[in-house]
A and B are shown apart, each in its own frame.
Chain A
Amino acid sequence: GAGVSQSPSNKVTEKGKDVELRCDPISGHTALYWYRQSLGQGLEFLIYFQGNSAPDKSGLPSDRFSAERTGESVSTLTIQRTQQEDSAVYLCASSLGATLGTDTQYFGPGTRLTVL
């Protein structure tokens, strides 16, 4: 079956602009996660969605970052007023959500964001 897909694969934007990144999880996966991968910081957790529960936003670095998910489908990560330090690869993952913390997370190919 299809894996996790993300779009766009690459995004170049100017400082101060807003960007939206999209994630399509594996069908039937109730849990969805966003991560950021950058040279200096490695892989960082950003936000987690599980079904209709309130999302875990504990990893979002600032209030310029937000994410939405409609039910158990597509999620969008929005970065407002982008800064150069936002340049990174943004990874999305999904899992069955049956056992939080031990579920296998399946990752998408990522969106490479470059802020000029």
Chain B
Amino acid sequence: AQSVTQLDSHVSVSEGTPVLLRCNYSSSYSPSLFWYVQHPNKGLQLLLKYTSAATLVKGINGFEAEFKKSETSFHLTKPSAHMSDAAEYFCVVSFSGYSTLTFGKGTMLLVSP
């Protein structure tokens, strides 16, 4: 069975400081991994995805994530937070040939001036 654990329910940073949102997954097979962002009262937007190509994945708005198989991790980072980054972030896992996406519980990112 596959599962996703987002290690922090809330992360608070100051504007201009780095962002780290942690995600660990559990699976028996090579997964595809995604990060989605959800702004208040908006739909989910794809930030980036990993599908067995380069392990360092660059996404939109300056975000990137690194797939580390040995650590079963797919942490999301950004060098410098912006106020507009405040939102909820979801780490998601899926497998080729299967329809189901498994979502983490989400991490709320709070950015203070």
Considering only residues 54-113 of chain B, those with a C-beta below 8 Å from chain A are 90, 94-106
Docked-complex contact B42 and A99, CB < 8 angstroms: no
On chain A, the residues within 8 Å of B7 by CB distance are none
Cβ of A54 to closest chain B Cβ, rounded Å: 12
A59 to B103, CA, bound (A): 13
Is A43 part of the contact surface with B, judged by Cβ < 8 Å?
A: yes
How many residues from B make CB contacts under 8 Å with A?
25
Q: How many inter-chain residue pairs (CB < 8 Å) link A and B?
A: 60
A52 to B65, CA, bound (A): 36
Measured as residues with beta carbon below 8 angstroms from the partner, the interface class of chain A is 20 to 34
Docked-complex contact B43 and A100, CB < 8 angstroms: no
A59 to B101, CA, bound (A): 11
Cβ of B46 to closest chain A Cβ, rounded Å: 5
A8 to B86, CA, bound (A): 26
Docked-complex contact A50 and B105, CB < 8 angstroms: no
Scoring A residues 30 to 43 as 1 if CB is less than 8 Å from chain B, else 0, what string do you get? 01010100000011
